[in-house]
């Protein structure tokens, strides 16, 4: 088999959800963000595991993602759509009982006219300037929502991964000013906001990256591991080059392994000549350029030719790999390509 094996530890996923849930009080419900195909690990797979663990509120980016979660879980759970009620979404929202998080007066009008009396939520802009009703807009329409209140009012913290940022306190203050007295469930915090403490928790939290083993949740268990099969090996001598444009030259004789995986699989080209794979805990550096389907690795430190090399493993989690690539763990996870054989492991698998 020439495809890499992406293993998803559902026990670790659930343990991370429970650990984040434990950081909030009994009056706070912990949901789960499963957008981006469950951060690249398979939305249906992770949603089913989290639902079995007790999650009853899920968050996706668009209605099409909500449809996939409804198919996986059936009815009985709430599915919130961050992009709100977009043109063309009406039938999907209505038929599948999705909860659009309305972001504008236009969306509010569209939803109330097309699906009167059906569930919805409100997203507020408290300073990120990305999605949501601004304070003056909310003040203009807040009274219109009182006869048919939203299921949830939310906003999004821009700097929650920087606990010392003054923007956190500013957004918290703005959110309270815009929502106090509504009597509606509120949500401000994803993973980073949960870690900021009780003032940020409100009635619903919605962890995302922390569920999947990523920062800023330093206590997260790793969820994803990835092994790339070795396709071929060769000995290169001093002065020989490897890969496109000859960007790496051997100083001594060594063995090079070519593994199946490349930037078409989400392994970023920026890992060229700087990333590392592992064999039984022994580091094996990437040499030459990462290409579309193949990566060349120096395995001269090994006393054998392995069947595969690990790129996500105990020695290198998603954030360590992200650091080597000059990006963040979110991009590593959500870029993992469709060609991998995805395999659930653990008691929930």
Give the 3-state DSSP-derived string for 186-237, with helices as H, strands as E and coil as C: EECCCHHHHHHCHHHCCCEECCCHHHHCCCCCCCCCCCEEEEEEEEEEEEEC
Return the CATH fold of 10-212. TIM Barrel (3.20.20)
What pLDDT does 2 receive?
83
Within the chain, all domains assigned CATH 2.40.37.10 are found at 224-345
Q: What is the pLDDT of residue 25?
A: 87
Q: 317: helix, coil or strand?
A: coil
> Which regions of the chain carry the CATH code 3.20.20.10?
10-212
39, 120, 200, 244: which is the annotated catalytic residue? 244
- The predicted pLDDT at position 346 comes to 77
Q: How far apart are CA 66 and CA 59, in angstroms?
A: 8
| Predicted local confidence at residue 349, as pLDDT | 46
**Is 35 in the active site?**
yes
Token pair of 45 as six digits: 């797979």
What pLDDT score was predicted for residue 347? 61
Concatenated DSSP letters of 82-127: TT-S-TT-HHHHHHHT-EEEE-SHHHHHHHHHHSTTS--EEEB-SS
Q: Which of 23, 35, 39, 200 is catalytic?
A: 35
Which residue is listed with tokens 């109330």? 112
Q: Each residue's pLDDT tens digit in the chain (349 positions)?
A: 689 999 999 999 999 999 999 999 899 999 999 999 999 999 999 999 999 999 999 999 999 999 999 999 999 999 999 999 999 999 999 999 999 999 999 999 999 999 999 999 999 999 999 999 999 999 999 999 999 999 999 999 999 999 999 999 999 999 999 999 999 999 999 999 999 999 999 999 999 999 999 999 999 999 999 999 999 999 999 999 999 999 999 999 999 999 999 999 999 999 999 999 999 999 999 999 999 999 999 999 999 999 999 999 999 999 999 999 999 999 999 999 999 999 998 765 4
- What confidence score (pLDDT) does residue 1 get? 62
Question: Cis before residue 216, ω within 30 degrees of 0?
Answer: yes
What is the CATH class of 224-345?
mainly beta
């Amino acid at each position: 088999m020439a495809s890499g094996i992406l293993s998803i530890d559902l026990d670790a996923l659930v343990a991370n959800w429970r650990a984040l849930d434990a950081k909030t009080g009994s009056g706070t419900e912990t949901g789960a963000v499963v957008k981006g195909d469950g951060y690249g690990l398979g939305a249906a797979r992770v949603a089913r595991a989290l639902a079995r663990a007790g999650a009853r509120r899920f968050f996706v980016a668009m209605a099409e993602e909500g449809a996939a979660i409804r198919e996986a879980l059936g009815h009985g759970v709430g599915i919130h759509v961050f992009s709100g009620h977009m043109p063309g979404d009406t039938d999907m929202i209505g038929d599948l009982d999705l909860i659009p998080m309305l972001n504008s007066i236009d969306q509010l009008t569209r939803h109330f006219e097309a699906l009167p009396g059906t569930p919805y939520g409100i997203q507020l802009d408290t300073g990120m300037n990305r999605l949501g009703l601004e304070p003056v807009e909310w003040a203009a329409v807040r009274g219109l929502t009182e006869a048919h209140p939203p299921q949830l009012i939310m906003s999004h913290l821009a700097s929650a991964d920087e606990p010392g940022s003054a923007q956190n306190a500013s957004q918290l203050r703005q959110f309270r000013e815009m929502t106090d007295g509504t009597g509606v469930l509120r949500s401000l915090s994803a993973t980073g906001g949960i870690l900021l403490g009780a003032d940020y928790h409100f009635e619903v939290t919605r962890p995302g990256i922390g569920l999947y083993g990523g920062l800023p949740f330093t206590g997260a268990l790793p969820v994803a591991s990835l092994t790339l099969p070795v396709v071929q090996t060769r000995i290169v001598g001093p002065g020989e080059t490897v890969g496109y444009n000859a960007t790496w030259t051997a100083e001594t004789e060594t063995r090079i392994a070519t593994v199946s995986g490349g930037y078409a699989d989400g392994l970023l080209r920026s890992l060229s000549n700087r990333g590392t794979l592992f064999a039984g805990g022994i580091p094996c550096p990437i040499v030459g350029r990462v290409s579309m389907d193949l990566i060349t690795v120096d395995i001269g430190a090994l006393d054998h030719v392995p069947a595969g090399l690990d790129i996500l493993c105990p020695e290198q989690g998603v954030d360590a790999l992200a650091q080597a690539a000059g990006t963040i763990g979110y991009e590593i996870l959500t870029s993992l390509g469709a060609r991998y054989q995805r395999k659930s492991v653990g008691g929930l698998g």
